[in-house]
Structure 1
Amino acid sequence: MSQSLSSESNAEPITQRALLATQIPTANQPHIALFGKRNAGKSSLLNAIIGQDISLVSSIRGTTTDPVSKTMELIPLGPVVFIDTAGLDDEGELGVLRVQRTHKVLEKTDFALYIFDIHDLDPVPYRAMVDQFMKFKIPFLPVINKIDDVPEERLKEASKPYPEALFVSASQGIGVFELKNELVERIQDNHEESPIVGDLIPQNGTVVLVVPVDSEAPKGRIILPQVQIIRDCLDHGIKSCVVRDIELESALQDLKQVDLVITDSQAFKRVNERVPSEIKITSFSILFARHKGDLKELVRGVHSIQNFPDSARILIAESCTHNHSHEDIGRYKIPKLIDQVTGKNFSYDFKMGHDFPTNLEDYALVIHCGSCMLNKKTMETRIRFCQERNIPITNYGVVLAHFNGILDRTLEIFSP
């Protein structure tokens, strides 16, 4: 009887932890990727860590063909995203494509595990990946797998070239608990979530969130950046008031003190006209430009537009995928505004989701969305890619503020 009760008492917390992991946006969770050669046991190890058969496991080399992601609660760290990848030594025409997709995962990896088969401690691909980890500024840990049938002497020998490695057996669960603890410690040291508005507004301060309700607004809910900022206000003891743009003036009259008005970038012009000059304003997109990337770099990027010749190519990159309408901010409103103000006819290309192009040299500028669906690592990587190629980059909110003539005002909140 006591054993049955014990099982039931353990079930509920596990369910709650799994639910929590799915409720927190994956863009806010540390991304842990597993790399290594084919048949090193990456998928088996991921399954052992997760405690579920997430990745397909087989003795056939190259079973994993595409990156596989899974969110889990890594106690006491919190929710994380694990990513299983194809083998680095994959072959053939399809194998080359799989390896390319594996390397693409580096762009969003916060922490990397390199998995060895103890019977194949090939240093060449490992050193090549270490170079990539260093290039992308990714902390990493080597893990030597399949140790369950290996004598002690072989373990000692294997540890000599890889003294920092952890030894595990995914099939037997040996060392998996220790690996989890090591991940928690390493990631806590390297991953600290920064506030969105919590360091800009004093505790017990007040912000007003302006959320226009138009054809682009999702039915029955508010979008992720708005949710995250409301939560950030709660976490830092900041009062938040959410209104439509048409109720903004009456809301400002009702409130005694307002420290900041945060608006959807599409309503910049209307909000700027309705908010008294002594109250600071900015946008969700600009806040996320600072939270996820490099706001100063994105501001520099927008000033470069005035120097472009007619018909210059501009890339508009959006991190999420959705249907488009005549009110779509990225595909219609921003291009129309830029061409109208500059008097030029630029050429616009559009990329959605995680498909960020490698031919950045073909563009005069990249205009990125607020990146609420991307983790910080991905946005930082995209900015760095542009910097390395001397391609200016900016974002939706910065562009809309600039071409509405209020960029300086929207940046006042960030001044020391």
Structure 2
Amino acid sequence: MGLNDTPASERATIGFFGICNAGKSSVVNAVTSQDLSIVSGTPGTTTDPVRKTMELLPLGPVVIVDAPGIDDAGELGQLRVRKAKQALTTCDIAVLVIDAARGEEEADCELARAVRERGIPLVRAWNKADLLSPSERQRMQHREGDVLVSAVTGEGINELKETIARSARTREKQKRLIADLIQEGDTVVLVVPIDSSAPKGRIILPQQMVLRDVLDSHAQALVCQPSQLAGALTSLRQPPRLVVTDSQAFEQVARIVPDDVPLTSFSILMARYRGDLSSFTDGARALAGLRDGDRVLVSEACTHHRQCEDIGTVKIPRMIRECTGSNPTFEFSSGAHFPDSLAGVSLVVHCGGCMISDAQMKAHTDAARSEGVPLINYGMALAYMTGVLKRSLQPLPEAKTLLENL
């Protein structure tokens, strides 16, 4: 896929980090062949993470992040360092730009440790190679993934891009939404409600992604609305291999689809695709145990116009109150913001994460886990509250383990 065909959440995010005046922004500009970042000898020139979506060959569509210096000083500098650390949580690959003439400093080592803790590839770019003497070049013993570069002369920039691309490919996993659940020639029924909340002229991203994966698997898709589902099933000569529904139609669809036909939802497939599905099943137990006054954070990663029956701010809170018989306190976050602290929160109900990257979803999941806060996503919450969660997990290879957690 090209730049405009690749969803933002599917583009590799490459973060460039380094101490002030290591030449990080100059390296970014050299790698991208653009004046993406302002370059100056004044420390702290990069004040906020600079993001640019672009095509980076040989990798393809990516998001480049130029982060503030990781050793900035003073009160304002500490805010910039915090921004840099926050930027790391959104990255799939980290490039640490080191001043080769000065060598690796403590701030560089700290950043490298943070990258290892996140489990993402680290590439070290030793910049200012043009300032090194021949003997200094020979003495430098680099580890795998290290590249000697000069943003001034262009030395090593192509090698750096190749190293980034190799790191990305090494990290890539064969992530498939539905392909491992179906076979060539199978029929899959996709239930896609078209109502006031459906975007005009298109279907939402998880539905697009599942449909594409079905077609890539050389299976056939039958797409219908909930009101058409009974007729669609009757029209088939044999039962479909799988029915996938929008989570908001779970209750209606579950009544129509025979018990012997596997049923799941777009949101559950996205939860499996994006990250740790077992964390979300743990959240089902917490949902069942909510009490009056418990704090529930509803976190939606995208921003959109809120309608009177908005799923995150209206439908889910109402259903939780009805299902549990309790009256929790609901708080809301949206867009890129996820709270720095979850102290006092009893449960996080997260959207499907279709608009954010794996790294961002993992950061949210890890943040909740580190503070001992259970997490569940919209689709699994809706499935639990309509009594079909166990059935909706059955089609998945992980079903046995997941069901043991419920």
TM-score by length of 1: 0.91
Q: Is 1:97 aligned to residue 53 of structure 2?
A: no
1:13 corresponding residue in structure 2: none
Tell me how far 1:308 sits from its aligned partner.
Answer: 2.8
Q: Residues 385-404 of structure 1: matches in 2 within 5 Å?
A: 385-404=367-386
Q: Which amino acid aligns with 2:75?
A: E
Q: What per-residue deviation string (whole Å, max 9, x for no partner) do you get for residues 355-382 of structure 1?
A: 1112112200111000001111221232
Report if aligned partners of 1:113, 1:142 keep a CA contact under 8 Å in 2.
yes
The residue that corresponds to 2:226 in the other structure is: 245
Which runs of structure 2 are paired with 1:23-172 in the superposition (5 Å)? 23-157=5-139, 159-160=140-141, 165-172=146-153
Could you say which residue in structure 2 is the equivalent of 1:309?
291
More deviation, 72-81/332-341 = 72-81
Change in CA separation of 1:161 and 1:226 when aligned onto 2, cut-off 3 Å: closer
Distance 1:162 1:197, change over 3 A: closer
Report sequence identity in percent. 40
Structure 2 vs 1, CA of residues 336 and 84 (structure 1 numbering), >3 Å: closer, same or farther? Answer: same
Where structure 2 has 5 or more consecutive residues not aligned to the other structure, the ranges are 399-406
Give the aligned partner of residue 402 of structure 2.
none
Cα separation, 2, equivalents of 1:365 and 1:403: 15
Equivalent of residue 323 in structure 1, options 288, 305, 308: 305
**Equivalents in 2 of 1:197, 1:306: separation in Å?**
29
1:348 aligns to 2:330 (yes or no): yes
Partner amino acid for 2:201? G
Residue 219 of structure 1: SS of its match in structure 2? coil
- Contact preservation (8 Å) 2:346, 2:374: yes
Contact 2:122–2:145 (Cα < 8 Å) also in 1: no
Deviation at 1:232, TM superposition (A): 1.3
Question: How far apart, CA to CA, are the structure 2 residues paired with 1:309 and 1:318?
Answer: 23
- The structure 1 residue matched to 2:389, chosen from 400, 407, 413, is 407
Deviates more, 1:138-147 or 1:91-100: 91-100
Unpaired runs of at least 5, structure 1: 1-16
CA distance in 2, matches of 1:361, 1:394: 17
Which stretch of the first structure deviates more once superposed, 26-35 or 365-374? 26-35
1:351-370 pair list within 5 angstroms: 351-370=333-352
**Which secondary structure state, in structure 2, belongs to the residue aligned with residue 182 of structure 1?**
helix
Report the CA distance between 1:47 and its aligned residue.
1.6
Change (3 A) 1:226 1:130: same
Does 2:360 correspond to 1:378?
yes
C-alpha distance in 1 between matches for 2:25 and 2:206: 33
1:24-65 residue CA offsets vs partner (Å, 9 max, x unmatched): 012112221111011222222112111222222223222211
For 1:11, the equivalent position in structure 2 comes to none
Residue type at the aligned position of 1:42: K
Task: Say yes or no: does 1:284 pair with 2:266.
Answer: yes
Structure 2 match to 1:196 = 177
- What SS is found at the alignment partner of 2:61? strand
Equivalences, count: 397
Q: Post-superposition shift, 1:226?
A: 1.1
How far apart are 1:405 and its partner, in Å? 0.8
Alignment check: 8 A CA contact 2:290 2:326 kept:
no
Partners of 2:245 and 2:185 in 1: how far apart?
20
Deviation of 1:76 after TM superposition, in Å, equals 4.0
Q: How far is 1:161 from its partner? A: 7.5
The answer (yes or no) to whether the contact 1:215–1:327 under 8 Å persists in 2 is: no
Aligned 1:221-236 pairs, distance under 5 A: 221-236=202-217
Q: TM-score normalised to the size of structure 2? A: 0.93
Q: Which of 159, 162, 167 matches 1:181?
A: 162
Question: SS of 2:185's equivalent?
Answer: coil
Q: Identify which range, 160-169 or 361-370, moves more after superposition.
A: 160-169
Cα pair distance change 1:76/1:142, threshold 3 Å? closer
Q: Any conservation in 2 of the 1:386–1:392 contact (CA below 8 Å)? A: yes
Q: Give me the CA root mean square deviation.
A: 1.8
Write the distance in 2 (CA, Å) between the matches of 1:256 and 1:106.
52
